[in-house]
Structure 1
Amino acid sequence: MARHDPHPHPHPHPREALKKDRQLSLVQDDRHDSGLDSMKDEEYENLVRELEDIRLQPADASAPLQNVAGHTGHAWKLQVTEDGDTFLHLAIIHEEKSLSLEIIRQAGRDQAFLNFQNNLNQTPLHLAIITDQPEIAETLLKAGCDAEIRDFRGNTPLHIACEQGSLRGVGVLTQYCPKHQVTSLLQSSNYNGHTCLHLASIQGYLAIVEHLLSLGADVNSQEPCNGRTALHLAVDLQNQELVSLLLKHGADVNKVTYQGYSPYQLTWGRSNSFIQEQLRQFTTADLQMLPESEDEESCESESEFTEDELLYDDCVIGGRHVPC
């Protein structure tokens, strides 16, 4: 889908994104050995060719690296790589669609296998969304996969779809999850304190923002780091279309951050006078002027962010550490 952003930052190929995640995991675990991150391009292509030749057979797996508990039947369910990936994880990572669908079919309703988390706490459903394979995601959901499981960053698959701008992924997840689970997913925050609405707003994906709001996402939800709502984020990003969309859906212009700033107060010193005027007419008089106790330097530290220097202490946006 089109990105409503004056300075778009294209997302990397899914394999590159997975490699970055695994590199981060290796650093955290002080590991320096294998995994997709260390695989040369030629080795990767060889592995893809090997996967193409694989045929699922209920033969005995003579030397599995680990055991996946709770399974019955097929021995291939017990095979796990050193990255914690099952046969299904690998098939999805390498975008082997027919093989992935066959594995899911043969797995039946084996929830332990279908929801198994690798070393990054990613389920096959996470990987189907990361690699933008909505048909695989739909099949997993119909097989009973749990969409509320979190990865190592606290992201559910819906968080990932919103951050990547995958309208198809968002549509599949919200259509095939039970209604009560969709409500829970919309309320859920990842480990950086972002809801799905926050992530879609930060990235400027207007169609996803509108879809989430139509499903009942709280337009005034505050991220716990400093209490910004999606409207505060839209002002920081100077995203005029997003401001208008949020106002149309009832965003509270008088909601303040934990330091007491309204969205209008964050327009001071910004170039977009249209946003400022939009907010001024709805903002109460006491929230239009900056607090007298704040000096110029502290005001700038609260509100003067560029688009590439977003908002949060120790925060990762789009796979990059963002300075505050």
Structure 2
Amino acid sequence: MASDDCTKDDLLDDNRTDSAIDSYRSIQKSEEPQEPSIDFSGPTDKFSTADERLDSAYGSSSITVESLSEIVQGCTLSCAQEEQTESSELSEQENFLTTITEDGDTILHLAIIHEDEYITHQLIQLFPKEVLDIQNNLYQSPLHLATYLNLTEIAKSLVEKGASLELQDQNGNTALHVACQQGQVKCATEMTREVSPSKLAPILETQNWRGLACLHLAALNRQHQMMNLLMNKEADLNIQEGTSGKTALHLAVELHDVTSVKLLLNGGANVDAAMFNGCTPLHLAVGRQDTTIANLLFQSGADTMLRNMEDETALDLADGKNDILALFPFDDIQISGRSVVGMNF
């Protein structure tokens, strides 16, 4: 029943490995990678890996962090003397630099994973855009990895050199999705600083394989600064996620997140947006007996008479809950379950 959707939480734990970064960091720091404290039910990932793997820099590649500096220095010297270098030798060197490990990582992926910013910046300047956008076996581009590690300057350099913001990893997340989920505000700011609204709009509307756009992830993870940034970037506040049609406002109501609700309402979010089953944010607030948020929605002009697919209004869901009923005006006289207001006799 739709009323069940209005009254129960839809937040499930998501037991997955986000990236090669997670396995690497858990080994190095002996702690579990951080996952969102709130997750969202939805379809399974489009791509999945059966077994967790060690990062490619450990065990699957002969390239080590100690050799990165020597490799880059050698290539830089050759590039400076390119006119004097045999074309075959140059080709051999370029092939080495763009070698892909069994896990799909390039030397640029490895430099970022090791958080060696100097080497990484050298490689970014050295490589053409096509190499910057190579995705590993988890479909992570160098920009994804820089964002996971919150390497702001590297993310900035990648975007300035032309790295794509549109690439999606095995979970359908763009680098901006990752930033929104983890609250990497500075990283997201630098990635989007020089991007025009027309080019940024499709990225902000991109849904991952669970149907979530950037604003949904920011709301689900209570990333209020990120929500402000997205609003300033003209993100669609009423975009619906792909599984049940919830907007960010619905998600904020489900989380009892008053701050997010205020942000979205003040930003112009549709207070009466309906899910696929017809439930509005007010339906959800009343169903969860959240008097504070119900009052905020009501004060923002929420329509108390809108009906969901079970033909229920928010007032119907408030039946017996006096603290919620007190919020409604005295125009709730009903005949056969329908309000007298607006009825023609």
Mapped contact 1:187–1:218 kept (Cα < 8 A): yes
In the alignment, what sits opposite 1:63? none
CA distance change for structure 1 residues 277 and 17 in 2, over 3 Å: closer, same or farther? farther
Give the drift of 1:112. Answer: 1.6
Amino acid in the other structure paired with 1:174: T
> Matched residues in 1 for 2:92 and 2:298: separation?
63
The structure 1 residue matched to 2:269, chosen from 247, 251, 258, is 251
Query: What are the residue-to-residue correspondences of 1:31-180 with 2, within 5 Å?
Result: 35-36=54-55, 47-49=64-66, 51=68, 55-58=72-75, 74-107=94-127, 110-180=128-198
TM-superposition CA deviations, 1:149-204 (whole Å, max 9, x none): 11111111111101110001110111033443212211211111111111101111
Give the drift of 1:53. Answer: 6.1
In the alignment, what sits opposite 2:22? 16
Unaligned runs of 5+ in 2: 1-17, 27-32, 34-43, 79-90, 318-345
TM-superposition CA deviations, 1:7-53 (whole Å, max 9, x none): xxxxx9994366789xx99x945457x5328959xx99x95455466
Amino acid in the other structure paired with 1:57: G
Mapped contact 2:48–2:170 kept (Cα < 8 A): no
CA distance change for structure 1 residues 147 and 237 in 2, over 3 Å: closer, same or farther? same
> Matched residues in 2 for 1:50 and 1:160: separation?
30
Amino acid in the other structure paired with 2:242: P
> Matched residues in 1 for 2:49 and 2:119: separation?
31
Mapped contact 1:201–1:234 kept (Cα < 8 A): yes
Amino acid in the other structure paired with 2:230: L
The structure 2 residue matched to 1:234, chosen from 252, 258, 281, is 252
In the alignment, what sits opposite 2:343? none
Amino acid in the other structure paired with 1:16: D
Q: Does 1:203 align with 2:243?
A: no
In the alignment, what sits opposite 1:217? 235
Matched residue of 1:194: which SS? coil
Matched residue of 2:288: which SS? coil
CA distance change for structure 1 residues 30 and 243 in 2, over 3 Å: closer, same or farther? closer
Q: Does 1:188 align with 2:206?
A: yes
CA distance change for structure 1 residues 18 and 268 in 2, over 3 Å: closer, same or farther? farther
Unaligned runs of 5+ in 1: 1-11, 61-70, 300-324
> Matched residues in 2 for 1:126 and 1:19: separation?
15
The structure 1 residue matched to 2:294, chosen from 248, 268, 276, is 276
Amino acid in the other structure paired with 2:305: D
Q: Select the structure of larger CA radius of gyration.
A: 2
Give the drift of 1:127. Answer: 0.8
The structure 1 residue matched to 2:305, chosen from 286, 290, 295, is 286
Mapped contact 1:14–1:130 kept (Cα < 8 A): no
> Matched residues in 2 for 1:13 and 1:149: separation?
15
CA distance change for structure 1 residues 99 and 39 in 2, over 3 Å: closer, same or farther? closer
Amino acid in the other structure paired with 2:216: H
CA distance change for structure 1 residues 217 and 55 in 2, over 3 Å: closer, same or farther? closer
> Matched residues in 1 for 2:308 and 2:161: separation?
54
> Matched residues in 2 for 1:252 and 1:265: separation?
14
In the alignment, what sits opposite 1:308? none
Aligned-pair identity in percent equals 33
> Matched residues in 1 for 2:308 and 2:160: separation?
52
CA distance change for structure 1 residues 180 and 248 in 2, over 3 Å: closer, same or farther? same
Mapped contact 2:148–2:179 kept (Cα < 8 A): yes
> Matched residues in 2 for 1:149 and 1:234: separation?
27
> Matched residues in 2 for 1:99 and 1:37: separation?
18
CA distance change for structure 1 residues 128 and 222 in 2, over 3 Å: closer, same or farther? same
Mapped contact 1:76–1:87 kept (Cα < 8 A): no
How large is the RMSD of aligned CA atoms in angstroms?
3.4
Q: Identify the structure with bigger relative contact order (alpha carbons < 8 Å, sequence gap 6+).
A: 2
> Matched residues in 2 for 1:85 and 1:114: separation?
11
> Matched residues in 1 for 2:250 and 2:142: separation?
34
Give the drift of 1:72. Answer: 9.1
> Matched residues in 1 for 2:220 and 2:120: separation?
32
CA distance change for structure 1 residues 47 and 78 in 2, over 3 Å: closer, same or farther? closer
